[in-house]
């Protein structure tokens, strides 16, 4: 395509949300260009746990076979260890499994799938500007990625619509004036890959600690993803990386008997990565001619490991609404509002649950009490796992029946 061509949609960002939205829009017959600042495979800070709900979407997308061929591990559920040491394993049941695999591989497979579906994929193409020009057309300024070898030449691309799928620090959300701060939940994560970790078999583990929590997720080829989440005041200067980040991470691992035991023989594979503050939100997920998907539309906390499934589901909803609006030739924001309504209906209860869980984790004794109750009633723990795995509606946990059963357990 030349710089003067006006395509139907430019998708900014080629993570799970962007690749999925681009594939579905292309499949609906639109001319789609996807720009990602990185060249794939690229690293992404993540616990690398893929909940069961995401698998159903991979299947609908026709990408499940390609992802399964990467040899992911299959998880039966997720364990949480309370501050006092009570372990609660929630199982999805009924043969349902989650996957774990490196984002390096997963995201490349999804991007390749978009390319094979006919999306024009530009890698090493960082979007640096976004503006509306005449006739409601967007001008998207694309520069090379300074970190990538052989930077792409700077260009201005034009499109009738834009999908902002550029993650938590979304330029698209900022340029559309939709970005808001999330001052009350300011968590940072430090993660790395390790060999020789004493990992639980068949599931990941979230260990709640006095400093925050630590997720340990077994990965293929004997690796494990170890991710420490702390409050922003705790990390301060260590976030710059190098030796300070390594000693910060190891101090946190040593501070808890279970993480110390799990990591006693661990060997790092690659460097440590830090990111934060992680929570972000937007006023809404749409504007004239544009929608935000995945983390660009908002992110809260990785404790329940739902980000990938929400990114995929949100991309499905965005593609459907945007495609209808393109077909009708009406891209005014009111035509895209049904996307926001669909997101709210799908995610609202889930986000309330996440916020409630984070509030609970601030009270170690109460967390221990809840963990003991869940251990006494494994059916409740399984229900919680199914909700966090997105196979059961989160609203079920917010009903009085669940609370009553918890109290009586």
Ligand X SMILES: Cc1cc2nc3c(=O)[nH]c(=O)nc-3n(C[C@H](O)[C@H](O)[C@H](O)COP(=O)(O)OP(=O)(O)OC[C@H]3O[C@@H](n4cnc5c(N)ncnc54)[C@H](O)[C@@H]3O)c2cc1C
Q: Copy the structure tokens of residue 250.
A: 């190891």
Q: Copy the structure tokens of residue 132.
A: 């509306």
For 31-34, which contacts have Cβ atoms below 8 Å and span 24 or more sequence positions? 31/7, 32/7, 32/8, 32/118, 32/119, 32/120, 33/1, 33/7, 33/9, 33/119, 33/120, 33/122, 33/157, 33/159, 34/10, 34/111, 34/114, 34/119, 34/120, 34/121, 34/122
- Name the packing angle between helices 16-27 and 103-116 (round to 10°): 20
36 binds ligand X (CB under 6 A): yes
Closer Cβ to ligand X, 295 or 373, answer by number: 295
285 binds ligand X (CB under 6 A): no
* Interacting residue with ligand X among 97, 126, 175, 252 (CB under 6 A): 126
Closer Cβ to ligand X, 8 or 107, answer by number: 107
* Interacting residue with ligand X among 11, 32, 48, 91 (CB under 6 A): 48
Closer Cβ to ligand X, 278 or 381, answer by number: 278
Asked if 301 contacts 256 with a C-beta cutoff of 8 angstroms, the reply is no
* Interacting residue with ligand X among 10, 11, 47, 224 (CB under 6 A): 47
Span 149-188, contacts to ligand X by CB under 6 A: 165-167, 171
* Interacting residue with ligand X among 26, 44, 102, 343 (CB under 6 A): 44
Binding mask 51-90 for ligand X (x = CB under 6 A): x---------------------------------------
Closer Cβ to ligand X, 306 or 354, answer by number: 306
* Interacting residue with ligand X among 8, 306, 316, 354 (CB under 6 A): 306
Query: How far from the centroid of its chain's Cα atoms is residue 12's Cα?
Result: 16
Asked if 103 contacts 43 with a C-beta cutoff of 8 angstroms, the reply is yes
Kindly state the number of chain residues that form the binding site for ligand X, as judged by CB under 6 A.
41
- Stretch of residues binding ligand X (CB under 6 A), selected from 10-18, 130-138, 344-352, 377-385: 10-18
Listed residue (2, 199, 274, 232) closest to 120, CA to CA: 2
* Interacting residue with ligand X among 9, 13, 80, 164 (CB under 6 A): 13
Smallest distance, ligand X to C-beta of residue 188, A: 9
Smallest distance, ligand X to C-beta of residue 268, A: 17
- Listed in order, strand segments (DSSP E) in 133-186 are 138-144, 155-164, 179-180
272 binds ligand X (CB under 6 A): no
119 binds ligand X (CB under 6 A): no
Span 224-253, contacts to ligand X by CB under 6 A: 227
The bridge status of strand 120-122 relative to strand 32-35 is parallel
127 binds ligand X (CB under 6 A): yes
Q: Copy the structure tokens of residue 247.
A: 């000693």
199 binds ligand X (CB under 6 A): no
Smallest distance, ligand X to C-beta of residue 300, A: 10
* Interacting residue with ligand X among 49, 248, 286, 300 (CB under 6 A): 49
How would you class 176 by CB atoms within 10 Å of its CB: exposed for 0-12, middle for 13-18, buried for 19 or more?
buried
Asked if 120 contacts 23 with a C-beta cutoff of 8 angstroms, the reply is no
Smallest distance, ligand X to C-beta of residue 278, A: 5
- Stretch of residues binding ligand X (CB under 6 A), selected from 72-80, 308-316, 341-349, 353-361: 308-316
Q: How far is CA 89 from CA 183, 206, 227, 249, in A?
A: 32, 10, 19, 26
Listed residue (263, 257, 250) closest to 208, CA to CA: 257
The bridge status of strand 125-132 relative to strand 6-12 is unpaired
Task: List contacts with ligand X (CB under 6 A).
Answer: 12-18, 35-38, 42, 44-49, 51, 126-127, 165-167, 171, 189, 191, 227, 275, 278, 294-296, 299, 302, 305-309, 311
């Amino acid at each position: 395509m030349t710089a003067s061509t006006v395509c139907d949609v430019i998708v900014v960002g080629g993570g799970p949300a962007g690749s999925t939205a681009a594939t579905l829009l292309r499949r609906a017959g639109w001319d789609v260009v996807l720009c990602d600042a990185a060249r794939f495979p690229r690293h992404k800070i993540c616990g690398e746990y893929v909940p069961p709900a995401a698998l159903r979407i991979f299947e609908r997308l026709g990408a499940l076979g390609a992802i399964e061929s990467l040899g992911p591990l299959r998880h039966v559920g997720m364990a949480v260890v309370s501050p006092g040491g009570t372990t609660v394993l929630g199982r999805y049941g009924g043969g349902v499994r989650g996957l774990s695999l490196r984002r390096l591989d997963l995201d490349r497979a999804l991007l390749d799938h978009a390319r094979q579906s006919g999306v024009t994929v530009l890698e090493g193409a960082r979007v640096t500007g976004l503006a509306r020009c005449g006739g409601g057309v967007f001008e998207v300024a694309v520069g090379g990625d300074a970190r990538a070898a052989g930077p792409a030449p700077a260009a201005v691309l034009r499109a009738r619509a834009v999908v902002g799928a550029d993650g938590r620090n979304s330029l698209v959300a900022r340029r559309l004036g939709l970005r808001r701060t999330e001052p009350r939940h300011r968590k940072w994560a430090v993660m790395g890959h390790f060999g020789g970790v004493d990992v639980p078999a068949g599931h990941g583990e979230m260990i709640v600690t006095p400093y925050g929590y630590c997720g340990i997720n077994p990965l293929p080829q004997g690796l494990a993803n170890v991710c420490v989440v702390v409050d922003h005041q705790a990390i301060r200067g260590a976030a710059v990386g190098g030796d300070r980040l390594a000693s910060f991470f190891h101090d946190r691992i040593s501070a808890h008997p279970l993480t110390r035991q799990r990591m006693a023989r661990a060997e790092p594979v690659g460097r440590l990565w830090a990111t934060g503050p992680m929570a972000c939100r937007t006023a809404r997920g749409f504007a004239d001619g544009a929608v935000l998907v995945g983390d660009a539309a908002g992110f809260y906390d990785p404790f329940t490991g739902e980000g990938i499934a929400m990114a995929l589901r949100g991309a499905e909803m965005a593609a459907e609404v945007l495609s209808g609006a393109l077909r009708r030739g009406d891209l005014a924001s009111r035509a895209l509002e049904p996307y926001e309504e669909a997101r709210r209906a799908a995610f609202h209860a889930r986000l309330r649950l996440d916020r409630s869980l984070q509030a609970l984790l601030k009270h170690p004794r109460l967390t221990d009490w809840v963990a003991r109750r869940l251990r006494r009633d494994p059916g409740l723990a399984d229900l919680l796992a199914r909700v966090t795995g997105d196979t059961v509606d989160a609203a079920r946990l917010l009903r009085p029946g669940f609370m009553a059963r918890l109290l009586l357990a």
